[in-house]
Amino acid sequence: MTERIVLAYSGGLDTSVAIGWIGEATGAEVIAVAVDVGQGGESLETIRQRALGCGAVEAYVADASDEFANEYCMPTLQANALYQGHYPLVSAISRPVIVKHLVKAAREFGATTVAHGCTGKGNDQVRFEVGIQTLGPDLKCIAPVRDLALTRDKAIAFAEEKGLPIETTKKNPYSIDQNVWGRAVETGYLEDIWNAPTKDIYDYTATPEFPPAPDEVTISFEAGVPVAIDGVKVTPLQAIKELNRRAGAQGVGRIDVVEDRLVGIKSREIYEAPGAMALITAHKHLEDITIEREQARFKATVGQRWAELVYDGQWFSPLKRSLDAFIADTQRYVSGDIRMVLHGGQAIVNGRRSETSLYDFDLATYDTGDTFDQSMARGFIELWGMSAKVASGRDIRVAGK
């Protein structure tokens, strides 16, 4: 039986050419796997037909938009995950769901190898291959660009020679990856980190310099998951899409950052994540009134480590699974409403309410009705500072000798 290879297929030039390129280099049959994670653009059927037209013996297509929103975006939201304090893991969280479907397709079609279109200097090669090794340890991995010398100029020449049904004349200077959680742009003009981004690179967000009138929105959460916007019930996918639209119109969620890649180099990245950043902002403010202080402090540390693991391709790791359990436990009381104003590139919270809030008005107020016993403060301060006071006394005593 002829060997079969499943290929993560986007429908673009490189992966379309990779179908025939892999076939010629290995003698294997190629099954194209396309996964919709809310990236928009062409329909799955169009992509499926293109894959077959480029020589794939089978084309596996999956609409995973709701799966992606429910099982990947929502845990990211609950963790308030921002890699290096900036990046909401747009590409990093889409790779595990694609990997899941690649392995599923490999089992379904009897493939022994999984292929992806990543280069040898990016993060995604690690995310794909570590995920595949974890879910399908018997499967092999290849990367045509990295392992089979498939460069862009060779891809264009191959496509023209074979008459493949794919556009080869237009060359976008940028590398773009997008899904419903956000959009990532890199390379080209942006590789000089002194160059400011030009307006043409943005798609999910309008320019914040000349915004429309302020947009006030109320987001309702249950156990850390958005369930309604302005009183209208929504699914996680609908919540992200609605806030992509409304926050994007106000220029919210533009991120320009130089980040530390897993492979050891620094890389300049431009991200657009209007829905993600608005939701994370709202969620964090709701946590501020519903999570106990020490638990919240530790959760911030856990969220940072969670983001690093996911960025580094460890979605399926034991530590990630353990951190998931902690984060899920913290979300028990994260229910309520957050009101925020979207305007001029900012999402500013101006109201919050929750039946499980730890905010006690009578304890917090300075007006009549204050129930806080201020006489407790003096003794508390004495005890709180005792350790430092004793140590300071020791320092003075030793220094005087």
Q: Which amino acid is at 91?
A: S
24 lies in the same domain as 89? yes
314 lies in some domain: no
CATH code where residue 188 lies: 3.90.1260.10
Low-confidence ranges of the chain (pLDDT < 50): none
CATH code where residue 17 lies: 3.40.50.620
Distance CA 329, CA 321 (A): 13
Q: Are 225 and 336 in contact (CB under 8 A)?
A: no
- Which strand ranges, in their side-by-side order, compose the sheet holding 175-179? 175-179, 182-186, 266-272, 254-260
Q: Residue 298: what pLDDT? A: 98
165 lies in the same domain as 181? no
Distance CA 132, CA 60 (A): 17
Distance CA 6, CA 34 (A): 10
Could you give the number of structural domains in the chain?
3
246 lies in the same domain as 145? no
106 lies in some domain: yes
Q: Residue 282: what pLDDT? A: 98
257: exposed, middle or buried (Cβ count in 10 Å: 0-12, 13-18, 19+): middle
Render 313-351 in DSSP notation, one character per residue.
T-TTSHHHHHHHHHHHHHGGG--EEEEEEEETTEEEEEE
43 lies in the same domain as 102? yes
73 phi and psi, to 5 degrees? -70, -40
- Which residues, 6 or more positions from 140, have their beta carbon under 8 angstroms from its beta carbon? 112, 113, 114
121 lies in some domain: yes
Q: For 74-106, write each residue's pLDDT tens digit.
A: 999 999 999 999 999 999 999 999 999 999 999
Q: Could you tell me which of 83, 78, 68, 74 has the C-alpha nearest to residue 329?
A: 78
CA distances (Å), 47 to each of 4, 39, 62, 142, 154, in order? 20, 13, 11, 22, 22
287 lies in the same domain as 196? yes
Lookup: tokens for 123: 């993060």
Distance CA 173, CA 186 (A): 9
Distance CA 199, CA 118 (A): 27
328 lies in some domain: no
Q: Are 262 and 57 in contact (CB under 8 A)?
A: no
Distance CA 35, CA 137 (A): 21
182 lies in the same domain as 166? no
17 lies in the same domain as 146? yes
Full domain range(s) for residue 62: 4-171
Residues labelled as active-site residues: 14, 95, 124, 175
When computed from its CA atoms, the radius of gyration of the chain, rounded to whole angstroms, is 25
Q: Residue 327: what pLDDT? A: 98
The dihedral sign for the CA sequence 307, 312, 315, 317: negative
Q: Give rounded-to-5 percent helix, strand, coil for the chain.
A: 45, 20, 35
150 lies in some domain: yes
164 lies in the same domain as 182? no
297 lies in some domain: no
385 phi and psi, to 5 degrees? -95, 0
Distance CA 226, CA 282 (A): 10
CB neighbour burial string for 278-287, b if at least 16 within 10 angstroms, e if fewer: bbbbbbbbbb
